[in-house]
A and B are shown apart, each in its own frame.
Chain A
């Protein structure tokens, strides 16, 4: 089973970190995983993205032309990548930063990640809210434990205070998804 995920948004939204945390958690489950960032001039001011591939077998290309899942944290990144989402793929969008009409065909997975994060007390944890929603939508509740561990491990010593709000954000995100919306794997 291989899953190819594009996580996209704008610089400062913690796009790279979101992918890294997911990759680290998969590593804890001894799965094959690759993480591939946008780099260089591409990350200056424009759209930020990273590509994560999770598999039980050796992974071929870490670069994704056809995604199983697209997470878009803002509108420009949605336009940039929606063509790469497979027909049966899952689109997860941040409706806080989206014109309501532009979500398109899979708008049912649109959640106000930024607003929810703001409500939790820090807009920067929108990425963890989205990651929580992703886990629920793809029925990866088992991975949640490892993601929480990674969040604890990677927080720098002077920022341990951020661990709790990030954990809370992840759990809040997971609860956004009603069971019938979750994909059967």
Chain B
């Protein structure tokens, strides 16, 4: 009999700490499946963020490095330059990548570092308790915008992917979502492309993944998925950006 489906080798068979309905579990698994499918598990070095995915190395079964909050792209730069033969990727949330780490992100992209970035955008800070993120939507209530985000005081949702797409050294940027099985399949295809680009030495690739945070969006998991489809993806349109 032929085995057509199994638990990914690159994913440890342990329960995660993520909340019910959170997208991180799906995104972790997609990465693990892709690493297995590309046969690069023994070459991969992941850089984990500070945020809800801080202990991603407890779930992935390959080499991982911690980075301080926001510094993942700099750490990845160091690893990749020291070991160009390895496959190096960062996995970062919106606060990590697009607030405290904006500088590191932009400059790694602008240097065209041959790394892959999985950017989880859930429009809120999760680990610290649901505060305003750079990607929080206008009107969205958070712990630090109790009346909802106002453009006049907090500015607009930051479209870091569109910003990065303007840099000549950037090879590939796509925005995907995890709000339905079809979208998850598309997300996997995009993340795989980002890894393949690195395998083929094509340069900087980033996939932005719209992901649900039912806990800090204060809604049931099903509604959170619908909210991505109906509201969030209007502000952050899906598809290939570069």
Asked if A and B form a direct contact in the complex, defined as CB atoms under 8 angstroms apart, the reply is no
